Amino acid sequence: MSRKCEVCGKGPQVGYSISHAHNKTKKVWYPNIHKVRVGQKGSRKRLMVCVQCLRSGFLTKSNS
């Protein structure tokens, strides 16, 4: 399971966590991804989608 949105392609961001003493340690920020049933062209698919894509209305969730 990849941690990538299948709609917008948003994935993990990497950087440093910096303490007050300026010690740097590697850190990873993951997108808020959910497994969602989506109705597309008369069929249902299960996609990994970030919450920002769901809220902005790029997809229509299918019921049941």
Tell me the helix, strand and coil percentages in the chain, rounded to 5. 10, 45, 45
Total domains in the chain come to 1
Domain limits for position 60: 1-64
User: Tell me: the pLDDT tens digits for 13-60?
Assistant: 999 999 999 999 999 999 999 999 987 777 888 999 999 998 998 887
The reported pLDDT for the residue numbered 64 is 57
> Dmax of the chain from CA atoms?
57
Question: What is the four-CA torsion angle of 27, 7, 37, 29, rounded to 10 degrees?
Answer: 10
Angstrom distances, CA of residue 35 to CA of 16, 46, 50: 29, 7, 9
CATH number of the structural domain spanning residue 21: 2.30.170.40
pTM: 0.74
